[in-house]
Amino acid sequence: MSILDKAIAAITPPESEEDRLAARAKAENMAEPGDWLFQILDHHREIEAQFAALKAATSADARRAGQEKLAELLTAHSIAEEAAVYPAMAAHAQVGHAELAYQEQSAAKMELGLLQRLDPMSEDYRDKLEHIEGAVAHHVYSEEGTWFIDLAQSAPDDEQDKISEQYHQQYDRYMSGAIN
């Protein structure tokens, strides 16, 4: 983690685990099986599990394989959100949040690219991985705690259905290899 990253982290500490759990519970209460929010929450849990698996890996090969899986999940998830959810947020008075969400996801992808250049068993790698995980956790907290709740409450049912369908299609399209 760079000196600037450490300074920013000291000035703006991350939300507590309790806050994250409360945001997740709030979002889970609004989600309906199969809808876009339900799908996203499921993917957020998969991403969190992959971070844990990657951090637990004990060899360079296992870390590289875990990193590839993490990059695949994050990329599929971000493509689907960027195509389906963020435009809907912008259409429902959340232009600033949508723009910030795009920026945060772009930054995470860039950081993952930089992570690939590090020795997977080095301290620099572990620091960068923790930095990425923290940034993704904060992004998820913003989505689950307010942004997506606002969208779920403001978009009409027919639009909710379109968001769900488009999110599902984009995610599956990437995971199937159609847009890798």
The verdict on residue 21 lying in a domain is: no
**Digit-coded pLDDT (tens) for 48-100:** 999 999 999 999 999 999 999 999 999 999 999 999 999 999 999 999 999 99
Q: Identify the pLDDT of residue 15.
A: 84
pLDDT above 70 for 179 = no
Q: Which residues of 93-123 are buried (b: 16+ CB within 10 A; e: fewer)?
A: ebeebbeebeebbeebeebbeebeebebeee
Domain assignment of residue 94, yes or no:
yes
Residue 2 maps to a domain: no
Query: Which structural domain, as residue segments, surrounds residue 147?
Result: 34-175
Residues 31, 41: contact at Cβ < 8 Å? Answer: yes
Tokens of 15: 């939300």
What's the CATH number where 112 sits?
1.20.120.520
DSSP 144-165: IIIIHHHHHHHS-HHHHHHHHH
Total tally of structural domains belonging to the chain: 1
Q: Is residue 41 domain-resident?
A: yes
pLDDT in tens, 100-159: 999 999 999 999 999 999 999 999 999 999 999 999 999 999 999 999 999 999 999 999
In a domain, 145, yes or no: yes
Mean pLDDT for the stretch of residues 39-44: 98
102 in any annotated domain: yes
* Domain-located, residue 24: no
